[in-house]
Structure formats: structure tokens, C-alpha cells
Amino acid sequence: MSIEVGSKLQGKVTGITNFGAFVELKEGTTGLVHISEVADNYVKDINEHLTVGDEVTVKVINVEKDGKIGLSIKKAKDNPNQGQGRRKNNNQKNNRERTESFESKMNRFLKDSEDRLATLRKHTESKRGGRGAKKG
């Protein structure tokens, strides 16, 4: 059985580095699971997720001409709804923006900008030392 891109295989973690983990596949070949391919969330320390000797299921994501094999643990998991949470939140935000009328957006913008300008004027006039600044 040759190693093909997209195939899922069982392997054993043989080594861990700060950039990933080496996984030995059944045929005696070794591939690398980059630290970004270990879990769905950010991985700061790979040792929190893997240890030497762990049996893992990996997906082959690339095979280079020089024999290097790129593997992924997170892509080997069956997650058909992966990434749906972000899209759902963005849709809710877009719907909320659409329901707000143009006039209310404009009023909110004007109020915010007037508040900012008033604060800015107050600070710049007091630093200039003139034009109505308090003398103390």
C-alpha cells in the first residue's frame, strides 16, 4: 500500500520537537505533523497534546519528491461542521446591522464624533497655554 495524499492512516508518535511531531506509519516510513496540524485550536506547547508512543490517526496532506511526508491530526478527525460557528456569528452580526436604520446609524456616528471632538479640543487648548486655558 503506497502513501497517497488524502489517505487516513494509523501511526505512532516517535519524536516530538518544538515545531511538530514525527509519526511512524505502518510501512516503516516517518512523516511530520506540524504543530499547526495537531489540534483545531492554537497549540503553544505540543507536549500538552502528544507524547512519544501515542497511537494517532493521521491524514496525509502532502508527499514531496524527496520523501518528506506531511501529516495532519486535525484533518483526520471527521468534523463536517468545522468552521460553522464563525460563519453563524458573522451572519447574526450582518442581520443586526441591516435592521438598524441609516438614520439611527448616522445619529450614533454624529454623537460619537462630537464627543471625541470635545475631548480633543479640551486637551489641545489646555496644552497650548492660551486661548482661554486656565492659568494656575
Q: What pLDDT, on a 0 to 100 scale, did the predictor assign at position 26?
A: 80
Mean pLDDT by runs of 10 across the 136 residues of the chain is: 83 93 89 92 90 93 90 83 52 59 86 88 72 55
Q: Is residue 78 part of a domain?
A: no
Residue 8: Cβ within 10 Å count: 13
Residue 56 lies in a domain: yes
Report if pTM > 0.75: no
Question: Grid coordinates 497655554 are at which residue?
Answer: 129
Is 89 exposed, middle or buried, given 0-12, 13-18 or 19+ CB atoms closer than 10 A?
A: exposed
Q: In a 3-state reduction of DSSP, which class is residue 52?
A: coil
- Is 133 inside any structural domain? no
Boundary (domain end) residue, out of 50, 72, 94:
72
Cell 446591522 identifies what position?
Answer: 97
- Expressed as residue numbers, the domain containing 89 is 84-128
Answer whether residue 95 is part of any domain.
yes
Clarify whether residues 88 and 121 are in a common domain: yes
Q: Indicate which CATH number applies to the domain containing 65.
A: 2.40.50.140
DSSP type of residue 126: H
3 located within any domain: no
Kindly report the number of other CB atoms within 10 A of residue 20's CB atom.
21
Q: Tell me how many domains the chain contains.
A: 2
Same-domain pairing of 63 and 117: no
